[in-house]
Amino acid sequence: MWERVIVHADLNHCYAQIEEMMYPELRQVPMAVGGDEQSRHGIILAKNDLAYEYGIKTGESLREAYRKCPDLLIIEPHYDDYLYYTEEVKNIYREYSDKVENFGLDEAWIDLTASQGLFGGNPVEIVREIQERIYKELGLAVSMGVSFNKVFAKLGSDFNKKMGLTVISQKNYKNVVFPLPVDELFYVGKATAAKLKEKSIYTIGDIAYSRQEYLKSFLGKHGEMIWRFANGLDVSDVTLLEYENRPKSIGNGVTAPHDLSTFEEAKNVLRVLVESVASRLKERELRGSVITIGMRDHELHSFTRQRKIDVATNISSEIMQTVELLLKENCMSQYSGYLDRPYRSMSVKVSQLEEDIPQVQLSLFTDESQRQKEKKLDLVIDEIRKRFGYEKIKRCCLNIHQELTSFNPKEEHIIHPESWFKSS
């Protein structure tokens, strides 16, 4: 038996694979799941194997995809189905371990260390059994990596897609992992990979054989971390089912139906996002003291601006006050009422989160009774929307630009908020 058995499972091309499972005829044509091009959400979210053969990539625009394959079939996303079936897959994982850690909808780590004796002792056979059950019971193919830590397990699941199973052990990891390019390693993004290549560090083995202090000299603490990852020294645990990590931030973003040119247009779109973020914070019983906006202009140039506030909050009016100030300070034109350039997308994030408990020490500069009234108003609006629908109640100012504000970012979108704010 292994001393430690960590599995990473990846439901490859998740959205497209679920569509093919529900409608098998889709396997016969180049197909991709994509957004609505008319509303400016026209990107490829997932593609099937036939679309992949045309060079179609996740994240590219529908126009680019159509140029590669004019007969490409685009399927609108059905998020409820994706949520249902990915949870059914994870329910099978949970039959084999109480340590299953989600990594997005389609990926998860499973700790089978304590399960070896219960399911036959051979971890590779246990993993193969899980794969076959998922395929037989749900019609979905999962690739899996088996290793002694989370980082190498994730590398393993990327080796062979479909029903692939790759074992990276204490004995073979140098032969399997070290030849791979640096950007294959977990937490090595484009910016970090570029810095490494400037120093003639091209492979994971190059990272492993470098001095830790040298990597730290130009990458900071991040250099120490990837050195440990490259050498197989990741000892982080797979979290228990009952344990849920507190998020580092809660945010939301949207691409507008047309470029935004006035302050009022941008403010109203941001107000919708702020309400969704404030609602999520209260649901998680959290509040935050750093508020960030992310802006992307019509030429796809992006930037973020943030401000720390004195009293942590989850009240929409307080978050909006800071958001509006950031917008004025960083995006206003010298001509009153206009932005400094057309903006295509925007986002809001609240970070430095803490538990939402009653204030122990009241501020001399804050009317706490008024704050509680604002919070109760938020809660009433959230409850009305939950019971009767999002459109049943909204601020009058949002009716001015209905074509921009008639979206529900909390319920209608699968959000990956951190992607709006990453620079590497």
Catalytic residues: 107
CA nearest neighbour of 256 among 401, 404, 59, 407:
404
Is-contact 388 259, C-beta < 8 A?
no
| Rounded Cα gap, residues 28 and 328, in angstroms | 52
Pairing relation of β-strands 165-168 and 143-147? parallel
d(CA 28, CA 123): 36
- Whether residue 295 contacts residue 303, with contact meaning beta carbons closer than 8 Å, is answered with yes
Enter the DSSP assignment of 365.
Answer: T
Query: How many Å separate Cα 75 from the centre of its chain?
Result: 21
Q: What is the sign of the dihedral through the CA atoms of 214, 218, 219 and 221? A: positive
Q: 341: helix, coil or strand?
A: strand
Distances (CA, A) of 211 to 31, 96, 173, 229, 306: 47, 40, 19, 14, 35
Place of tokens 């990453």: 422
Which helix or strand (DSSP H or E) is residue 347 part of?
A: strand 338-355
Q: Which two tokens stand for residue 363?
A: 């501020």
